[in-house]
Amino acid sequence: MTGLASIRDLTVTYRRDGREVTALRNINLDVVAGERLAIIGESGSGKSTLALAVAGLLPASVRAQGHIDWFLPSNFGAKAPPSVLPDISPARGEIAPSSPRSPITRGAKGEPSEKLLISPLAGEMSGRTEGGAKDRQHFHFCPLGGRDIGFVFQDLSSSLDPVMTIGKQIAEVARTHLGLDWPQSFATAKTLLERVRLPDPDAAMRAFPHQLSGGQKQRVAIAAAIAAGPKLLIADEATSALDTIVQAEIVTLIRRLVVEDGMTLLFISHDIALAAELADRIAVFRHGALIELGTTRQVIDAPSQAYTRTLIDAHIGLDADLLLNRSGLPA
């Protein structure tokens, strides 16, 4: 088992209505390279905050403490901090000091803000220090969003640019991160549209997002997310806005792509049954804390926490007991 990322003592707080809210509290979690890890929880559990923290997409206004140490090959540009790294370092690459320089600047070769489809905020967290506070943040963001990490969001309409063709949106990821010229990038984009099984990829290249269905848009978003060959794919409620049939298709697609590209998957979901169908391991979050972590079979068949059992029991499957008292109805 090789680690991909090691989350240590991650605490994320933000202010809302003048109050300090802790979105994540002392999270310790190792992401294993090549695994499919599901993060499940209800609203307010912190699962999406975790996804954003791992991707380096937390807004600048939140306060993050703790470490996320990455073990990535050097060609992925990981500049892991020289702290708490275990001996499994061959994959880690060279070490650079955590600098206030933005990963966008490092990776994008000019015009960063235009080119980064996924992560305009990625740099904000880098070595940021809480002004005046004596507790310095030790929150280093090393991989580059869009290149090392692909992110698929729930909201289909806001994750794609409404006035840019599908082909260009995917091509610009390839161009930005893979150093390809535009014709090569467009060719890559078309290959990706075929890989995500979009009907009629040629037409889709020239289409705009509004011309596609929800499921098709999510396929495009996935194509863009994997365009630069990321090691980690994060899907944050990526199927929650889709109907059941399309959801099942997208889950099948994600499963296949993760295998084909040797990616690690972080699958964020409120749906424990969906998570169980896809994941090797399940992490259960509640109120900002990681309360249970285990293999899918352990968590589903023998949950150690009462809350996990509550989630499992609350699932209304096709074999659930009927809630309806049928005797009350006239025939």
Residues that bind other proteins (CB under 8 A): 42-43, 213-214, 242-249, 270-274, 276-277, 297, 300-301, 310-312, 314-318, 320-326, 328-330
Which of residues 124 and 236 has its CB atom nearest to other proteins in the complex?
236
Closest approach, Cβ 62 to other proteins, in A, equals 21
Which of residues 90 and 328 has its CB atom nearest to other proteins in the complex?
328
Closest approach, Cβ 241 to other proteins, in A, equals 9
d(Cα 102, Cα 56) in Å, to the nearest integer?
Answer: 11
Closest approach, Cβ 96 to other proteins, in A, equals 42
Q: 10 Å Cβ neighbour count for 331?
A: 2
Which of residues 134 and 326 has its CB atom nearest to other proteins in the complex?
326
Distances 158 to 61, 209, 331 between C-alpha atoms, Å:
21, 10, 48
Cβ pair 127, 83 in contact under 8 A: no
Output DSSP code: residue 132: T
Closest approach, Cβ 329 to other proteins, in A, equals 6
Q: 10 Å Cβ neighbour count for 316?
A: 10
Of the chain, the end-to-end C-alpha distance in Å amounts to 60
Which of residues 126 and 216 has its CB atom nearest to other proteins in the complex?
216
Closest approach, Cβ 278 to other proteins, in A, equals 9
Cβ pair 33, 230 in contact under 8 A: no
Which of residues 85 and 273 has its CB atom nearest to other proteins in the complex?
273
Closest approach, Cβ 283 to other proteins, in A, equals 17
Which of residues 132 and 328 has its CB atom nearest to other proteins in the complex?
328
Which of residues 183 and 328 has its CB atom nearest to other proteins in the complex?
328
Q: Which residues, other chains included, contact 315 with Cβ-Cβ below 8 Å and sequence gap of 6+?
A: 272, 273
Which of residues 133 and 245 has its CB atom nearest to other proteins in the complex?
245
Residues 313, 28, 71, 298: what is their CA dihedral angle, to the nearest 10 degrees?
-30
Closest approach, Cβ 221 to other proteins, in A, equals 17
Closest approach, Cβ 93 to other proteins, in A, equals 38
Sign of CA dihedral 311, 313, 316, 318: positive
Nearest residue to 7 via CA among 38, 51, 48? 51
Nearest residue to 77 via CA among 178, 172, 151? 178
Nearest residue to 266 via CA among 227, 242, 238, 290? 238
